[in-house]
Structure 1
Amino acid sequence: TSLEAKPLKFAYSRLSSLLRTLQVSNLDDFNALTDVADFATLLSSYSEGVAKFAIIMEPNGSSIPGASDPVIQLACLDSSLAIAPLFKRFGSVIITSGTLSPIDLYPKLLQFEPRVSESLQMSTFRPCIRPLIITRGSDQLAVSTKFDDRGDMGVIRNYGAMLVELCSAIP
Structure 2
Amino acid sequence: MSGPTFVISTDLGDITVRLREDAAPQHASYMRNLIEAGKYNGAVFYRAEKGFVLQGGLQDASGAKRPAGLPNPPLEFRLPNKRGTVTMARWEDPNSGAGEFFINLGDSPHLDRTGDSGWGLGFTVFGEVVSGLEVADKASLLPTVERGGLKMLTQPIVMNKVAMQ
Structure ID, larger Rg: 1
The structure with the largest helix share of the pair is 1
**What TM-score, normalized by structure 1, do the two folds share?**
0.18
**What TM-score, normalized by structure 2, do the two folds share?**
0.19
The structure with the largest strand share of the pair is 2
Q: Larger RCO: Structure 1 or Structure 2 (Cα < 8 Å, ≥ 6 residues apart)? A: 2
